[in-house]
Amino acid sequence: MRPQLLDRLFAPVTTLSGVGPQLGRLIERAAGPRIVDLLWHLPTGLVDRRASPSVTQLEDGGIVTLKLKIERHEPGMGRRPYRIICYDGTGFITLVYFNVKGDYLERQLPKGSERIVSGKVEFYSGIPQIAHPDFVVPLDQAEKLKPIEPVYPLTTGLPPRVVQRAVAGAVERAPPLPEWIDRGLMQQRGWPSWNEAIAAVHEPQSEADLSPETRVRERLAYDEIFASQLAVALVRARRQRRRGRATEGTGALSKQVEAGFGFALTQSQRLAIAEIAADMKQPQQMMRLLQGDVGSGKTVVALLAMLIAVESGAQAALMAPTEVLARQHHATLQRLAKPAGIEVALLTGREKGRPRDALVAGLGSGLIPIVVGTHALLTSDVAFRDLALAVIDEQHRFGVEQRLALSEKGDNCDTLLMSATPIPRTLMMTAYGDLDTSRLVEKPPGRQKIDTRAMPLERLDEIIDAVARAVQRGAKAYWICPMVEESEDTDLAAAQERHRILAAMPAFRGRAGLVHGRMKSADKDRAMADFAGDGSDLLVATTVIEVGIDVPQATIMVVEHAERFGLAQLHQLRGRIGRGSDASTCLLLYQAPLGAVARERISILRETEDGFRIAEEDLRLRGGGEVLGTRQSGLPALRLANLAAHEPLIAIAHDDARLVLTRDPGLESERGQALRTLLYLFQRDEAVQYLRAG
């Protein structure tokens, strides 16, 4: 149960004064649905209203606060705005309003009255004016006007004032919380209490206060990182307490299979297999993450791991997030396992009737040693005689429950998670600190370097012609359409329009496919299968094209508006080509002029194909708040921590979390109780359950 003192923070934002359902939806889009989300919605700028020059000293574009006397009103006519002429004793300034109805302004600013006015000055025909001032208040209410205002990230239709008032209301609701940080660390770093930090972070007094290095922001970042480290430490501790099974292979099947590969394993593949084999031999349950860059040979490692289970007399299963990927894995594993005479079955939603019944019976009897499948493996009628290893590909595409559901079909089953999204080390520690990790850092021999080029969009017609010529020579090409905003609709419209234009060209007529996120899974799978087979030569897509899809004949990748994509995502997209022995080309089309960050991204991409280096560079360029690839890798978005700036805090939190659990494994002490509050505050409720679950 969440501590009662946090209930007010987990109430909906609509419980705040002045926030109805409509504003609530907008605030939810910008910050989140609960009051606590507003506390984490940090200011990104500020408005300084302290400048108060005389009218004769005003400068264009400055934000000022003036004491003015209302001289006269000049109501607007037609398209002419409403003007109010004011005087400060040195000169005249005009307040300008558009679309004024009724006598509202005459009542609010009567002739002869004095008002405090604050807003942005602009000069029109040499005369200073303020259009729609931010504040107009009587002299006796001057204290209502804050000299410095925080500026928050917004969404369309959400006024800045509404967010400011909502955040202020959230800060007022923040209850005094017990201290969970070690006192010695607090003193050493000079950190304030949680309540002091929350109040101060939303009242910046200068640009310097917006820096992630301030003591206030550092303290809050540590809270978020510490909650994460404590949660993963609890998960790891729980797993180590649970009984596992010792699974050891004979090496007989893997020798036969490896002899038929026709290629040598890379050093990192050999190391990964050794690490997995050592884990499986232990009496604790294995939970290992195999990270491999695009085309690094994860499937081969997975097969050799599964053969350890089969050699011990047990079974193994590989679960993929889509049918296309499952079928692709099945075809690869069947081919590779053939020399050892091992049967690899396939179970997806498409298998029905007697063939499915026979397959399920084979798994139940143990006659089928290895199965590849989709979510269909999780259905209640699928039972194994003895499942020893569950392999989960693109693990971030499955929820925690789904991952556990497959391993729970075995008796103390080991789990191998696979990801093709390289994750920076700092993010690995933050999100996956409970997992042991193996990395594949080399590409198998025979893979050619991809020729990556950047070209301005003005050359679009020339590029279309070049792609058409290549397709007529037998090549296959991906054409990725731009991310317009974080909006599926606008991305989709761009893809549909590009597909319409290209599909009408003689070179692509009847040979151009389209894939986007709004398609049904079956239609998407069909379009991908057509492209992988003989059905189409050009695939126009949004960024939904499968991370692991393998089409060796695809040698061209065109990315429109490459400047709108993050570095890690561009690398993932490029990884769709260069999977065969033919030379491949990636064309990054950009809208000139390029900004400094976009130019650096494209430059790094042209320099290297090392996904791990690219992931680190992406983190550096983005600052870690929303590293592109967080959605792809399933990593939690950090609201308070900036991993580029706060990296040293991760090691401190990592060590402290383990020390806490060594001294107080049940979090029963006074500090332990405070740490439970921290876990609930950052919605790590699941970790708290592990304290009780044992």
pLDDT value, residue 399: 63
Q: Under a CB-based contact definition with an 8 Å cutoff, are residues 131 and 96 in contact?
A: yes
Tell me whether residue 640 is in a domain: no
What are the two backbone dihedrals, phi and then psi, of residue 169, each rounded to the nearest 5 degrees? -65, -40
State how far the Cα of 174 lies from the Cα of 5, in Å rounded to an integer: 9
pLDDT value, residue 690: 67
Say which CATH number the domain at 62 has. 2.40.50.140
Are both 422 and 463 inside the same structural domain? Answer: no
Tell me whether residue 247 is in a domain: no
- Taking the CA atoms of residue 390, residue 393, residue 398 and residue 399 in that order, the dihedral angle to the nearest 10 degrees is 50
Tell me whether residue 163 is in a domain: yes
Cis-peptide, bond into residue 593, ω within 30° of zero = yes
pLDDT value, residue 528: 85
Tell me whether residue 114 is in a domain: yes
Residues of the chain with pLDDT under 70: 395-401, 430-434, 446, 483-492, 546-549, 622-637, 690, 692-694
Are both 23 and 83 inside the same structural domain? Answer: no
User: Which of the listed residues 388, 412, 440 is the one where a domain comes to its end?
Assistant: 440
Say which CATH number the domain at 306 has. 3.40.50.300
Burial 547-578 (b: 16+ CB within 10 A, else e): bbbbbebbbbbbbbbbbebbbbbbbbbbbbbb
Residue 652: which domain range? 220-241+647-693
User: Which of the listed residues 608, 626, 661 is the one where a domain comes to its end?
Assistant: 608
Say how many Å lie between the first and final Cα of the chain, rounded. Answer: 17
State how far the Cα of 262 lies from the Cα of 544, in Å rounded to an integer: 33
* Number of structural domains found in the chain: 5
Query: Using the 8-state DSSP alphabet, how is residue 209 labeled?
Result: G
Are both 138 and 11 inside the same structural domain? Answer: no
Are both 190 and 124 inside the same structural domain? Answer: no
Tell me whether residue 678 is in a domain: yes
Are both 409 and 296 inside the same structural domain? Answer: yes
Are both 138 and 173 inside the same structural domain? Answer: no
Token reading at 548:
């692991």
Coil, helix or strand for 12? strand
Range list of β-strands (E), 139-196? 148-151
Tell me whether residue 621 is in a domain: no
- What's the per-residue H, E or C state across 23-80? HHHHHHHHCCCEHHHHHCCCCCEEEECCCCCCHHHCCCCCEEEEEEEEEEEECCCCCC
pLDDT value, residue 631: 40
Are both 224 and 200 inside the same structural domain? Answer: no
Are both 469 and 572 inside the same structural domain? Answer: yes
Tell me whether residue 174 is in a domain: yes
What angle separates helix 521-532 from helix 323-337, to the nearest 10 degrees? 40
Are both 562 and 488 inside the same structural domain? Answer: yes
pLDDT value, residue 402: 72
User: Which of the listed residues 145, 168, 185 is the one where a domain comes to its end?
Assistant: 145
Are both 225 and 361 inside the same structural domain? Answer: no
Are both 28 and 169 inside the same structural domain? Answer: yes
Q: Under a CB-based contact definition with an 8 Å cutoff, are residues 456 and 463 in contact?
A: no
Are both 578 and 469 inside the same structural domain? Answer: yes
State how far the Cα of 638 lies from the Cα of 625, in Å rounded to an integer: 6
pLDDT value, residue 548: 55
Tell me whether residue 296 is in a domain: yes
pTM: 0.68
State how far the Cα of 490 lies from the Cα of 497, in Å rounded to an integer: 11
Token reading at 353:
């009737």
Looking at the DSSP assignment, which residues form a beta bridge with residue 45? 151
